[in-house]
Amino acid sequence: MKRSFILEPFREGWEAVSYTVRFEGEELSEAQKFENKYKQEEPESFKDTEWRLENMLEEHLFLPPMLKLEEGKRHDWVVAIKTVEPKHLRWYGLRYNDRMLILGNGGLKTTDTYQEDPYLHQCVKDLQYVFRCLRKRLKRNSITFDSRELEITGSLNFSVEQFNDIDYPED
């Protein structure tokens, strides 16, 4: 479903930065929702996921093996911070480059593919929609990703009205 959203800074480290998506009408960002839920429900898996994020921000950048690349469709930037022990937890995001990641939501992966799980599939489709809107802004040069300064500049507010021509991903 098409929704207006904003990009907000989330966490910053010495080597990289993460942003998150907050959809219109939502009190919490997608990354905050993920943290709140899995910190309580899956503390061991969440601790590993959080450690991976902090490690990438401070030292290792957004690269494998801590980040699963090409999690979505070809060329849509969707990646996942993944854990396998004790459970398969996925935190989906959009990787612009080695130093910049936009975090969405995620959850426990209990199926072979995220497409088989309605909730995980929705998390990825939301990010694919965000990607399409970002790509349009990048082509217009109305938003820039500054890897040296670790920031996104330009308007971080995305309204549905501005992106009527952008389709929400199909199943």
Please check whether residue 171 lies inside any domain of the structure. no
- Only one residue has tokens 């839920």, namely 37
Q: List the beta strands (DSSP E) in the chain.
A: 5-12, 17-23, 67-68, 78-82, 89-97, 100-108, 143-146, 151-154, 157-158
DSSP class of residue 1 equals -
- Only one residue has tokens 């980040």, namely 67
pLDDT at 125: 96
**Which range of residues forms the domain containing residue 126?**
7-162
pLDDT in tens, the chain (171 residues): 899 999 999 999 999 999 999 999 999 999 999 999 999 999 999 999 999 999 999 999 999 988 999 888 888 999 999 887 778 999 999 999 999 999 999 999 999 999 999 999 999 999 999 999 999 999 999 999 998 889 999 999 999 998 888 888 986
Please check whether residue 2 lies inside any domain of the structure. no
Please check whether residue 168 lies inside any domain of the structure. no
Please check whether residue 167 lies inside any domain of the structure. no
Please check whether residue 26 lies inside any domain of the structure. yes
pLDDT at 63: 92
Q: Which two tokens stand for residue 123?
A: 């998390």
pLDDT at 93: 98
Please check whether residue 33 lies inside any domain of the structure. yes
Q: What is the pTM of this model?
A: 0.94
Please check whether residue 1 lies inside any domain of the structure. no
DSSP class of residue 59 equals I
